[in-house]
């Protein structure tokens, strides 16, 4: 892959980096395909946590490559949107937790990539938003669907209709990002959180993510039934016995992911 790097750590944390710094890590069809390819390959031997970030400190992903989009026909634009939907769905529905470490610009497609992650950590210099309407188009890689679910329809519509960009602290105030850290520290903060998550029972974390995701798709009663099923299933795992046994015996649990 030319623009996506994957770094697997011994601690179960994998970092996926979009590296196209001369274009502020902007997305074109090849970059989006490479993100999807990398995520598919990670499913073959899943880590415990995936961090998504952009190379350098200027941009997470500055957006889609406007010069490339300017030459697209409607059919090509539809294909680009579908590629984006496929890639972000792999993040959204990844069996393991995903964290966006947002450094610098996260606009348009970059913000949509971050929205597909479970957790977003932004550096103080981060700038998030959807400027598509200023170009005569709309967010096409999931922004109109994921943003209202995260921040509520009113805030989402204001952001999308106005094209206004939010600084990191304002993004935190509307729940677009989980936390704000000093400039240059987004990836380090994401690694620290990922380490905390990776230290827990990996099977439990995966089932917990599945249950939390289910809440977006079904009514409360159905969601509670699903939660109860997942809760019960975990009692058949070695990790559950190890975790609860370690607590009773006052020692650190040694989870094997089984």
Separation between Cα atoms, residue 49 and residue 57, nearest integer Å? 22
Angle at 156 between CA 39 and CA 194, to 5 degrees: 35
112 is annotated as an active-site residue:
yes
- DSSP readout, 160-216? HHH--EEEHHHHHHTTSSSEEE-TT-HHHHHHHHHHHHHTS-HHHHHHHHHHHHHTT
- Asked whether the beta carbons of 210 and 161 are under 8 A apart, the reply is no
Let me know the angle formed at the C-alpha of 194 by 4 and 253, rounded to the nearest 5 degrees: 135
Active-site residue, selected from the candidate residues 45, 112, 242, 249:
112
Question: Choosing from 132, 158, 192, 238, which is the catalytic residue?
Answer: 132
- Using CA atoms, how far apart are residues 213 and 92, in angstroms rounded to an integer? 9
CB atoms within 10 A of CB 94: 22
- Our answer to whether residue 132 is catalytic in this structure is yes
CA torsion through residues 231, 218, 160, 77, sign: positive
**Burial group, residue 9, by CB count within 10 angstroms (0-12, 13-18, 19+):** middle
- Catalytic residue numbers? 112, 132
């Amino acid at each position: 892959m030319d623009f996506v790097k994957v770094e697997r750590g011994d601690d179960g944390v994998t970092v996926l980096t979009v590296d196209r710094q001369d274009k502020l890590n902007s997305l074109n069809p090849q970059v989006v395909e490479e993100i999807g390819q990398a995520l598919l390959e990670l499913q073959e031997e899943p880590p415990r946590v995936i961090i998504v970030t952009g190379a350098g400190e200027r941009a997470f992903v500055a957006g889609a490559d406007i010069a490339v989009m300017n030459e697209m026909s409607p059919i090509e634009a539809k294909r680009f949107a579908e590629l984006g939907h496929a890639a972000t769905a792999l993040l959204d529905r990844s069996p393991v937790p995903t964290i966006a470490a947002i450094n610098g610009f996260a606009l348009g497609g970059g913000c949509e990539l971050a929205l597909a992650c479970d957790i977003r950590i932004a550096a103080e210099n981060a700038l998030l938003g959807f400027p598509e309407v200023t170009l005569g188009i709309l967010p096409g890689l999931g922004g109109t669907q994921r943003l209202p679910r995260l921040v509520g329809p009113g805030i989402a519509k204001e952001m999308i209709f106005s094209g206004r960009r939010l600084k990191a602290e304002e993004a935190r105030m509307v729940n677009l990002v989980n936390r704000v850290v000093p400039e240059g520290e987004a990836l380090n903060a994401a690694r620290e959180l990922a380490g905390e998550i990776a230290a827990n029972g990996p099977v439990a974390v995966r089932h917990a993510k599945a249950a939390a995701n289910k809440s977006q798709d079904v009514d409360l009663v159905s969601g509670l039934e699903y939660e109860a099923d997942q809760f019960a299933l975990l009692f058949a795992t070695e990790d559950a016995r190890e975790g609860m046994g370690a607590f009773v015996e006052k020692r650190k649990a040694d989870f094997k992911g089984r």
